[in-house]
Amino acid sequence: MKRNNFGNIVIIALVFMTVAVWALLPPKPTDIENYERYHVGMTIGSVMIVLMSFSLFLSTRPRWVEPFFGGLDKMYQTHRHTSTSAFLLLFVHILIVPINIGNFGLGNYLGIVAFLGFISIVLPTLSPRIPFLSKLTGQTYEGWKRLHGFIGIFFILGYIHSVTVRGGPTTPAINWNQVFIILGIVSYLYTEVFGRFFKKYVPYTVEALKHPNASTTEVTLRAKGEPIKHVHAGQFMFVRFSGDKILSESHPFTISSAPSEDVIRLTIKASGDYTRHLFDNLKEGSDAIIEGAYGLFNYKSGGEKQIWVAGGIGITPFLSFLRDLKSELSHDVHFYYTVRHPEEAVFAEEINTIAKSHPKLKSKIRFSSIHGSLKVEEIAKNAGGDLSKHHVYMCGPLPMIQAFEQAFLAAGVPAGNIHFEEFNFR
């Protein structure tokens, strides 16, 4: 889905409002020697609270918020930005606020614990290879996720620190902070403690398993009862399987089947620890738990002329688009599926068959080891030269998406017409 900046604008507006509230209605303690430093440091601390509370809120994966950001993948991008900005402001806050507000006591110690806690959680995210800190995560995604789960505890300690060191009467600026502190704490508790009672985790069974090549698994899942709400082709979900420690981790995968099918099909590339383990160990008949569906990557909301680019396993949302075609395609589509070697193009035959019965779909399967890399100049030439009215849909490795995004912009595709799914939430 293309980025929708409404959610980001709301966050930025709230940051400015926070600065305004602290500028106009600040607390005025009489026992502070260096009031200016106190005032600036507290304003920065409040902005930090706003950013952190949104980071925690976005981690709850609220589906109703997706349209305001352009999908869950874009919400995670914002989460990364708000968290990093809050982390940097934390240093500024500590450097500016006079250390001797009130007497150095419990509140200050709690502040130090919260600060060290944030450092040990955020630094391994920003720089996963720092030798000492990488031990905390074991340099795995799951280790990092587990460590990340403690962040709210340090947020709560930070809050207790702020009330303990502050003292004095409550003012509008303090009340403004409390709103975001409550948002952050409730979000954290929802993610880590009580969300499981509200989120819809739907039980499925692995009905069939296939290995179309030496690194791909196709998993067919059937709902044990009511299936998840799979609203449109191209959405994704989180799945975990029972009976195996590694497979019980929750991972996101695109639903490569059509919403009308009575089963869910996933197409999974063995690319890391979990996906390789799944390739070797997942068994037919295993139980699965699904959460979703999420995502707004939907070509039907784009203009009439479209270009689709799939790189490697990024084919999955497009498979769903194609499998969903019942009547003639409603858009003129130039579809490029690019893989390195012919044996990787496991769905070539199916795609060619679908393309034959849909004249508006022009599909090209491209082997970069034989034909060289796909270039936007070639795509533009095939599309008639002028791309200013085209909508582009892309899915694949991040470097590929970034390179194509720049090239499409340079070729005249408006930024708002470029839509992509990022296979990365970290």
Ligand X SMILES: Cc1cc2nc3c(=O)[nH]c(=O)nc-3n(C[C@H](O)[C@H](O)[C@H](O)COP(=O)(O)OP(=O)(O)OC[C@H]3O[C@@H](n4cnc5c(N)ncnc54)[C@H](O)[C@@H]3O)c2cc1C
Residues 6 or more apart from 197 whose CB is under 8 A from it? none
The least distance separating ligand X from the CB of residue 312, rounded to whole angstroms, comes to: 9
d(CA 272, CA 150): 25
The least distance separating ligand X from the CB of residue 140, rounded to whole angstroms, comes to: 6
Q: Which of 291/421 has CB closer to ligand X?
A: 421
The least distance separating ligand X from the CB of residue 22, rounded to whole angstroms, comes to: 36
Q: Exposed, middle or buried, 99 (CB in 10 Å: 0-12/13-18/19+)? A: exposed
- Residue 178, token pair as written in the block: 């409390």
| Maximum CA extent, the chain | 80
Residue 230 is which amino acid?
H
First to last CA, the chain: 18
d(CA 316, CA 268): 9
Contact 162, 188 (CB under 8 A): no
d(CA 403, CA 410): 11
The least distance separating ligand X from the CB of residue 266, rounded to whole angstroms, comes to: 6
Question: ∠ at Cα 79 (75, 82), nearest 5°?
Answer: 130
The residues binding ligand X (CB under 6 A) are 73, 141, 236, 249-254, 267-269, 271-275, 313, 316, 421, 423-426
Q: Which of 175/424 has CB closer to ligand X?
A: 424
The least distance separating ligand X from the CB of residue 425, rounded to whole angstroms, comes to: 4
Residues 6 or more apart from 178 whose CB is under 8 A from it? none
Q: Which of 91/141 has CB closer to ligand X?
A: 141
The least distance separating ligand X from the CB of residue 264, rounded to whole angstroms, comes to: 11
Q: Which of 93/251 has CB closer to ligand X?
A: 251
Q: Which of 229/389 has CB closer to ligand X?
A: 229
Q: Around Cβ 145, how many Cβ atoms within 10 Å? A: 14
The least distance separating ligand X from the CB of residue 85, rounded to whole angstroms, comes to: 20
Strands 216-223 and 305-311, bridge-based pairing:
unpaired
The least distance separating ligand X from the CB of residue 163, rounded to whole angstroms, comes to: 35
d(CA 290, CA 229): 11
Q: Which of 48/293 has CB closer to ligand X?
A: 293
Question: Residue 253 forms beta bridges with which residues?
Answer: 237
Residue 212 is which amino acid?
P
Tell me the residue nearest to ligand X as measured from the CB. Answer: 272
Q: Which of 18/320 has CB closer to ligand X?
A: 320
Q: Around Cβ 304, how many Cβ atoms within 10 Å? A: 12
The least distance separating ligand X from the CB of residue 314, rounded to whole angstroms, comes to: 8
Q: Which of 269/391 has CB closer to ligand X?
A: 269
Q: Which of 184/317 has CB closer to ligand X?
A: 317
Residues 6 or more apart from 314 whose CB is under 8 A from it? 394, 395, 396, 397, 400, 421, 423
